[in-house]
């Protein structure tokens, strides 16, 4: 029987290639085995022309438990590239037993890589098309058709395809934990923490707390490596140096700000009176001959400038006070 590129026939179980599948646990097959024993296989499994299993992993496992030697299959043409096979397997998993968190992470990782490869192929095809000035009627199709993926980053696309949710961070965390568990350069106790957390996730545990525990263990291990203390000391010295420089900069900026504020702030009349009360009779305390002999040119210039500023200030006040007051200087 043929239907839209699909041919139904009998196939020996041994000739069906399961390959590296992402479902590790087919789940409880009791109900399915009983059903197939009573009424047979109602829906054939689906394979590619070369025998690669696309849909029907649990039905295949149930047939093996029943001791069947052959199985009715649908041979589906037009499923030739890895991405399309993976999407077909995804659809099979979503409509039957859901993938576990670990299985979803593995499928997500491969889906992400294949989506990126597919995007790269399309980009190269478009570049080739542009370079050769192809017309709109000859689009230069990529190796596989565009999957029904949403827009956005590849990781987000892959997560949506696998879980129907934007769960890429959670899936990336699972993969990161597995990388720690497999990293032989890390201490055994750190890898054991990762193994334990993977087991907890398999049993339904939350992913983020497990991820945080594993990353914390990894950071502690990195701090315990030979030479790590020296690196930490260098980092601490650099941080202290930077803090000291920041403090000096802030002190300098604050001083400049205070000086600017002081320059723009006028003091009170009381302060004025006190200043000149302190200076009253000041000239009698110095000998003009000694000052003339010993004062430096810059200091004398400063004195003259202050005298000129004082005279100008006195003139301004005298004019504002009117005819009443002390004589003009």
For 1-52, how does the pLDDT look when each residue is reduced to its tens digit (9 = 90+)? 444 445 778 889 888 887 655 455 677 888 888 888 887 887 788 887 778 7
Q: Are residues 180 and 108 in the same domain?
A: no
Write down the pLDDT at residue 328: 53
CB-side neighbour CA atoms (13 Å) of 308? 6
Name every residue whose Cβ is closer than 8 Å to that of residue 17 and which is 6 or more positions away in sequence. Answer: 50, 51, 52, 53
In a domain, 292, yes or no: no
In a domain, 252, yes or no: no
Write down the pLDDT at residue 96: 52
Q: Are residues 210 and 101 in the same domain?
A: no
Q: Are residues 115 and 194 in the same domain?
A: no
In a domain, 212, yes or no: yes
In a domain, 159, yes or no: no
Write down the pLDDT at residue 229: 55
> Could you list the residue range(s) of the whole structural domain that residue 182 is in?
167-223
Q: Are residues 17 and 127 in the same domain?
A: yes
Q: What CATH number did the domain enclosing 28 receive? A: 3.90.1530.10
In a domain, 285, yes or no: no
What pTM was computed for the model?
0.40
Write down the pLDDT at residue 314: 92
Q: Are residues 61 and 123 in the same domain?
A: yes
- The per-residue pLDDT string of the chain (329 residues; one tens digit each, 9 = 90 and over) reads 444 445 778 889 888 887 655 455 677 888 888 888 887 887 788 887 778 777 778 888 899 999 999 998 888 765 445 555 555 555 555 445 567 888 778 777 777 776 677 667 667 766 665 665 554 444 443 333 444 444 346 788 777 767 767 788 888 999 999 999 998 888 888 889 999 999 999 888 889 999 999 999 888 888 777 665 565 566 667 777 887 888 888 888 888 888 777 777 777 898 889 888 988 999 999 999 999 999 999 999 999 999 999 999 999 999 998 776 555 55
Write down the pLDDT at residue 118: 65
Beta strands at 45-47 and 70-76: parallel, antiparallel or unpaired: parallel
Q: Are residues 19 and 123 in the same domain?
A: yes
Domain boundary among 176, 192, 223: 223
In a domain, 211, yes or no: yes
**18, 45 Cβ separation under 8 angstroms:** no
Q: Are residues 190 and 80 in the same domain?
A: no
Name every residue whose Cβ is closer than 8 Å to that of residue 242 and which is 6 or more positions away in sequence. Answer: none
Name every residue whose Cβ is closer than 8 Å to that of residue 198 and which is 6 or more positions away in sequence. Answer: 102, 174, 177, 178, 181, 210
């Amino acid at each position: 029987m043929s239907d839209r590129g699909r041919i139904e026939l009998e196939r020996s179980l041994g000739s069906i290639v399961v390959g590296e599948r992402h479902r590790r646990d087919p789940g409880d097959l009791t109900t399915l085995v009983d059903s197939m024993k009573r009424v047979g296989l109602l829906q054939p499994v689906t394979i590619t022309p070369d025998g690669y299993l696309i849909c029907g992993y649990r039905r295949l496992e149930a047939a093996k438990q029943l001791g069947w030697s052959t199985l009715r299959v649908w041979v589906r043409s037009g499923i030739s590239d890895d991405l399309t096979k993976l999407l077909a397997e995804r659809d099979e998993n979503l409509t039957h037993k859901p993938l576990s968190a670990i299985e979803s992470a593995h499928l997500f990782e491969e889906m992400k890589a294949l989506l990126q490869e597919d995007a790269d192929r399309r980009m190269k095809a478009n570049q080739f098309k542009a370079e050769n000035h192809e017309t709109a009627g000859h689009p230069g199709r990529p190796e596989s058709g565009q999957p029904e993926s949403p827009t956005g980053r590849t990781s987000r696309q892959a997560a949506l395809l696998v879980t129907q949710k934007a769960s890429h961070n959670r899936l990336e965390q699972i993969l990161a934990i597995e990388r720690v568990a497999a990293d032989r350069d890390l201490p055994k106790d750190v890898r054991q923490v990762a193994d334990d957390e993977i087991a907890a996730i398999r049993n339904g545990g939350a992913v983020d707390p497990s991820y945080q525990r594993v990353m914390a263990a990894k950071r502690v291990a990195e701090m315990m490596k030979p030479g790590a203390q020296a690196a930490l000391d260098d980092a601490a010295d650099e941080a202290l140096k930077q803090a000291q420089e920041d403090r000096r900069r802030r002190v300098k900026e604050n001083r400049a700000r205070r000086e600017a504020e002081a320059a723009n702030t006028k003091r009170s009349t009381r302060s004025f009176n006190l200043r000149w009360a302190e200076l009253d009779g000041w000239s009698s305390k110095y000998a003009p001959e000694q000052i003339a002999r010993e004062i430096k040119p810059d200091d004398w210039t400063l004195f003259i400038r202050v005298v000129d500023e004082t005279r100008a200030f006195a003139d301004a006040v005298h004019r504002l006070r009117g005819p009443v007051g002390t004589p003009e200087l």
